[in-house]
Amino acid sequence: MSGMRIAASVLSADLLQLEEQIRLVEDAGADWIHVDVMDGHFVPNLTFGAGMIAAVRRTTTLPVDVHLMVERPETFIDAFADAGASVFTFHPEATRHVQRQLEAVRQRGMLAGLALNPGTPLGLAEEVLDDLDLLLLMTVNPGFPAQEFIPASLGKIGRARHLLEERGSAAYLEVDGGISRETIFAARSAGADTFVAGSAIFAADDPAREVRELRKRCLTVT
């Protein structure tokens, strides 16, 4: 396992200062900008669409990491590719033909990601591992920022890392939900390499310092 990425989630950013907030975390060393798309059906919350992705794309040169918590994510493959999404991650429960959609995402030049809820077995990803550029393990139930990291996730992260290594997969292993100074070290030690952080960064007094702190907490993991 080498390298780590911090994906700053704009769900917790001040939307009226979005450009400034993105610049701030980019200058502080954030690696990706994470955009949470929610439709009010797959999760009980409503957020952003293609317009937001395009706006983020114009604001930064960092990869735009789009996480779809929507039913029928395939509906948005073309629109989000056109808007400039770099990573397109969806939940398997939201579509009938997971493998077909993963292929379609790659065909549109985006990295294909699959997101698993805390209660969704890893075996689901195992079946399509060769089609994955990224495996996202939810470490809270999706829908809202600032929830508490579910400790049982650590075992699943470890098993996912083992699976990726066993199969020779270079897919990113991303974790999302409740990542903070307190939890990032354990998640990294368990095998995650990409860390979504929303409230830990944007609700802090000094978001730039928080980005640096999160990275620092991982430095001692080899």
x/- letters, 65..84, toward Zn ion (CB under 5 A): --x-----------------
**Token pair recorded at residue 71:** 């039913």
Ramachandran assignment for 191, one of left (phi > 0), alpha (psi -120 to 50 degrees), beta (any other):
left
- Interface with ligand DX5 includes 56 (CB under 6 A)? no
Q: Report the Cα 70 to chain-centroid distance in Å.
A: 14
Residues 6 or more apart whose Cβ sits within 8 Å of residue 123: none
- C-alpha pair distances (Å), 147 with each of 17, 44, 212: 23, 14, 22
Active site (annotated) includes residue 36: yes
- Interface with ligand DX5 includes 34 (CB under 6 A)? yes
Considering only residues 161 through 200, tell me which ones interact with ligand DX5, judged by CB under 6 A.
Answer: 176-179, 196-200
Quick one: which segment of 91-99, 158-166, 174-182, 185-193 binds Zn ion (CB under 5 A)? 174-182
What is the CB neighbour count within 10 angstroms for residue 1?
14
- Interface with ligand DX5 includes 67 (CB under 6 A)? yes
The one among 26, 65, 176, 210 contacting Zn ion by CB under 5 A: 176
N-to-C CA span, the chain: 8
**Token pair recorded at residue 98:** 């997971």
For the four alpha carbons of 13, 16, 22 and 25, in that order, the dihedral sign comes to: negative
Active site (annotated) includes residue 205: no
Quick one: which segment of 28-36, 94-102, 199-207, 209-217 binds Zn ion (CB under 5 A)? 28-36
Contact indicator for 85, 111 with CB cutoff of 8 Å:
no
- Interface with Zn ion includes 174 (CB under 5 A)? no
Considering only residues 83 through 122, tell me which ones interact with ligand DX5, judged by CB under 6 A.
Answer: none
Q: How far apart are CA 201 and CA 12, in angstroms?
A: 8
Concatenated DSSP letters for 121-141? -THHHHTTGGG-SEEEEESS-
x/- letters, 7..26, toward ligand DX5 (CB under 6 A): --x-xx--------------
Of 31, 36, 133, 193, the catalytic one is 36
Of 31, 131, 133, 176, the catalytic one is 176
Contacted by 178, from ligand DX5, Zn ion, none: CB < 5 to 8 Å by type: ligand DX5
- Interface with ligand DX5 includes 63 (CB under 6 A)? no
- Residues lying near Zn ion in the complex (CB under 5 A) are found at 36, 67, 176
Q: Which residues are catalytic?
A: 36, 176
- Residues lying near ligand DX5 in the complex (CB under 6 A) are found at 9, 11-12, 34, 36, 67, 140, 142-147, 176-179, 196-200
